[in-house]
């Protein structure tokens, strides 16, 4: 009996929903016109047209994102590790990416365009951070009705997992450097020798004269090139194939 009752109740529910969805309901505003003097500003036909236009404009204003609704990652996303760095450089969260870009621009100006040495800039930056934190801690809990949130001590703590991952990354880098050094000392891997020599020669040319410019260009390119390539990946790959084929034929 319970099963039958459940089936009957479910059937009645489905029928009610179907009847509610399928019927057309219109509401008259004659009472409002009679008692309140109401008159529609926009007609029904014009309102429907404006609604359709608003949806079209909303679709045009949406940011271009290919991979938000799909599980397949793009080439750039895989190249960047499909993590926080990829989310920032590919503008997944526009507000977060803009804040990171603005912070990096300020640091770039502070360390490279201020005319001070790196040590002096770092010391002044640390001093400003300390003074700001101390001044913020001295503020009262309530100012003119506005509650001042306190900085939790957890913000300055580093978890064991993060420390372990940092040390593991440093150990991996040290092992790779040791491997390259051992290969160079043996004098058998000429390819590695040429790569290392070219790298140091390039650094010798760039660092004294073009380091500031190179870092600025790299900063702008990092926040634009990856995003543009992800949006027009097929078109750029097609153009690259055409150029490569023409170069091979030439």
The pLDDT of 177-204, averaged and rounded, is 81
Place of tokens 């090139």: 225
pLDDT in tens, 193-209: 888 888 888 777 776 66
Residue 112 is predicted with a pLDDT of: 84
Q: Using pLDDT thresholds of 50, 70 and 90, give the confidence band for residue 64.
A: very low
The pLDDT of 226-232, averaged and rounded, is 86
Interhelix angle 190-231/94-108, rounded to 10 degrees, is 130
End-to-end CA distance of the chain: 84
Residue 131 is predicted with a pLDDT of: 92
Whether residue 91 has pLDDT greater than 60:
yes
Whether residue 144 has pLDDT greater than 70:
yes
β-bridge pairing 142-143 and 146-147: antiparallel
Residue 3 is predicted with a pLDDT of: 42
pLDDT in tens, 26-39: 777 788 888 887 77
Residue 127 is predicted with a pLDDT of: 93
φ and ψ of 143, to 5 deg: -125, 115
Residue 24 is predicted with a pLDDT of: 67
Q: Using pLDDT thresholds of 50, 70 and 90, give the confidence band for residue 65.
A: very low
Of all residues in the chain, what percent carry a pLDDT higher than 90? 7
Question: Which comes out higher in pLDDT, residue 69 or 45?
Answer: 45
DSSP 159: -
3 state SS of 147: strand
Whether residue 102 has pLDDT greater than 90:
yes
Q: Say if CB 193 and CB 184 are below 8 A apart.
A: yes
Query: 211 is written with which tokens?
Result: 């380091």
The pLDDT of 159-175, averaged and rounded, is 86
Average confidence score pLDDT of the chain: 78
3 state SS of 142: strand
Q: Round to whole Å and give the CA distance between 221 and 60.
A: 26
Q: Round to whole Å and give the CA distance between 213 and 199.
A: 18
């Amino acid at each position: 009996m319970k099963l039958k009752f459940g089936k009957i109740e479910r059937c009645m529910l489905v029928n009610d929903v179907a009847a509610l969805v399928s019927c057309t309901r219109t509401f008259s505003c004659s009472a409002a016109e009679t008692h309140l003097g109401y008159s529609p500003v926009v007609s029904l036909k014009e309102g429907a047209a404006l609604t359709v236009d608003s949806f079209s404009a909303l679709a045009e204003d949406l940011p271009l994102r290919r991979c938000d609704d799909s599980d397949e990652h793009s080439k750039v996303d895989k190249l960047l590790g499909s993590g926080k760095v990829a989310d920032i450089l590919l503008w997944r969260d526009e507000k977060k990416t803009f804040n990171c870009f603005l912070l990096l621009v300020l640091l770039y100006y502070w360390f490279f365009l201020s005319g001070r040495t790196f040590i002096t800039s770092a010391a002044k930056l640390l001093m400003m951070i300390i003074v700001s934190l101390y001044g913020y801690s001295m503020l009262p809990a309530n100012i003119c009705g506005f509650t001042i949130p306190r900085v939790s001590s957890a913000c300055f703590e580093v978890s064991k997992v993060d420390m372990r991952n940092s040390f593991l990354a440093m150990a991996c880098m040290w092992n790779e450097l040791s491997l390259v050094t051992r290969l160079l000392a043996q004098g058998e891997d000429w390819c590695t020798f040429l790569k290392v020599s070219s790298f140091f020669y390039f650094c010798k040319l760039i660092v004294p004269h073009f380091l500031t410019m190179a870092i600025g260009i790299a900063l702008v390119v990092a926040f634009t090139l990856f995003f543009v390539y992800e949006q027009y990946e097929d078109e750029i790959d097609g153009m690259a194939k055409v150029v490569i084929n023409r170069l091979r034929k030439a």
